Amino acid sequence: MKVNTELTTTKRVLMCGNEALAEAAIIAGVDAYFGYPITPQNEIPAYMAKRMPEEGRVFVQSESELAAINMIFGAAATGKRAMTSSSSPGISLMQEGISYLAGAELPAVIVNVMRGGPGLGNIAASQSDYFQATRGGGHGDYRTIVLAPASAQEMADVMPLAFDLADQYRMPVMILADGLLGQMMEPVLLEKKEKRKLPPKDWALTGAKDRPQNIVRSLWLKEGVLEKLNEKLQARYAQIAENEVLCEQYKVEDSDIVLIAYGISARIVKSAVTKARKEGIKAGWIRPVTLWPFPSEQISKAAEELRIFLTVELSCGQMVEDVKLAVAGKSPVLFFGRTGGGVPTVDDVLNQIRQLTIKHKS
């Protein structure tokens, strides 16, 4: 049997989500980390400040989130794997740079460990940046791939995927986590994953040695050129929507009520559905792992039969709009959530399930 020696260097450790993500990024070959302090993601820069120099790689604490995203822009333009992490207010500041990354077709990974908003909000876990993350966030016709881990293990697991997706499609990829996932400690198995087969970065700025000049740009003044670029990006986005949707589901076909949740909310929902099943309620769940591309097809398929859809989020209701688009009026779509740092308990969600299913039957 052929043994992959790289895969044998696995280790199982107790880590918080933020540190698991940071170590996984290092294993995935990140060349440079640039970031600015903000709670609740400070474990990531602290971890990187120690580990990146040990690996002979680059760590810079930037003077602002604006600078951090542009440092990534610079490193990415030379073909390096670069990342930053921040939390909601800081991610708002990065939107200019994310739009430029999208326009210049540069791969980069941006981690948002969400906290409550709007404004300075608070430092508790929240999921209220869904609109910003899945709609592009900055100016212009673009998308970012958005991955939503739901455990410390998945904080690690999404990193190699994020870098591969960024490189494959030459675009920014966002990890949308939250303060709970970032802070809580769980056992994590860290392992080196095989890279996808990726296209060569022949567009990178490496010095015009024995080749014509390379230019990385997002300004297209001549009539029709920007429209062509946007059409090219849209075609790429369509390809991603076709090939890269990730979601999990549980007992959807045999259910009267389907709960839709991502990230930490999905953990609560899973427990509530398990409890509901024990009470004889036919409940199931769908958990989007990619928030863009959204698992519309899977939800649409579930809506072919009349059942209740209940979206659970740590927000005032954002993903619920995508669920409604997917359900397209075929079934009722309801929302339950808490905001501003509030987190529903398993029993809170279970009560919602009970009430809705009783109402549905009567």
Applying CB under 8 A, the residues found at the interface with another protein are 31-32, 34, 58, 60, 62-64, 66-68, 70-78, 80, 82, 96-97, 100, 104, 205-210, 213-219
Q: Would you say 74 or 332 has its CB closer to another protein?
A: 74
In the complex, minimum distance from the CB of residue 108 to another protein, in angstroms, rounded to a whole number:
10
Q: Would you say 203 or 250 has its CB closer to another protein?
A: 203
In the complex, minimum distance from the CB of residue 33 to another protein, in angstroms, rounded to a whole number:
10
In the complex, minimum distance from the CB of residue 52 to another protein, in angstroms, rounded to a whole number:
11
Q: Would you say 67 or 319 has its CB closer to another protein?
A: 67
Determine which helix (DSSP H) or strand (DSSP E) holds 284, and give its type and residue range.
strand 283-288
Q: Would you say 11 or 211 has its CB closer to another protein?
A: 211
Rounded distance, CA 52 to CA 49, Å?
6
Q: Would you say 58 or 246 has its CB closer to another protein?
A: 58
In the complex, minimum distance from the CB of residue 28 to another protein, in angstroms, rounded to a whole number:
16
Contact 84, 58 (CB under 8 A): no
Rounded distance, CA 287 to CA 299, Å?
10
Strand partners, 100: none
Strand partners, 259: 285, 310
Rounded distance, CA 34 to CA 28, Å?
16
In the complex, minimum distance from the CB of residue 279 to another protein, in angstroms, rounded to a whole number:
55
In the complex, minimum distance from the CB of residue 251 to another protein, in angstroms, rounded to a whole number:
47
Q: Let me know the angle formed at the C-alpha of 19 by 44 and 113, rounded to the nearest 5 degrees.
A: 55
Return the C-alpha torsion angle 199, 53, 182, 277, nearest 10: 50
Q: Let me know the angle formed at the C-alpha of 214 by 234 and 81, rounded to the nearest 5 degrees.
A: 70
Determine which helix (DSSP H) or strand (DSSP E) holds 33, and give its type and residue range.
strand 32-35
Q: Would you say 62 or 318 has its CB closer to another protein?
A: 62
